[in-house]
């Protein structure tokens, strides 16, 4: 499972950073930065799904 992140759709709600800081950082203006490009380690898969399920702008997609 990996994460696809659309930076253009991100409006800086920071929900992903709060729920999955292992997967998402934020830049100095508060926009999300994806930290893991390839496959997520199994122990982070649930957090990856949470981040996707809580993004108000649908900027995060889980690819199984």
Size of the site for another protein (CB under 8 A): 20
Which CB atom, from 13 or from 38, has the smaller least distance to another protein?
Answer: 13
Establish if 8 lies at the interface with another protein (CB under 8 A).
no
Q: Which of 51, 33, 24 is nearest to 60 (CA)?
A: 51
The tokens for 33 are: 């930065």
- Interstrand relation of 24-26 and 2-5 (parallel, antiparallel or unpaired): unpaired
Establish if 18 lies at the interface with another protein (CB under 8 A).
yes
**Contacts with another protein, residue ranges (CB under 8 A):** 11-15, 17-19, 26-30, 50, 53-58
């Amino acid at each position: 499972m990996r994460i696809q992140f659309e930076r253009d759709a991100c409006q800086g709600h920071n929900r992903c950073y709060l729920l999955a800081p292992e997967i998402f950082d934020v830049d100095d203006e508060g926009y999300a930065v994806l930290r893991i490009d390839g496959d997520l380690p199994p122990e982070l898969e649930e957090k990856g799904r949470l981040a996707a399920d809580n993004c108000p702008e649908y900027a995060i997609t889980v690819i199984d």
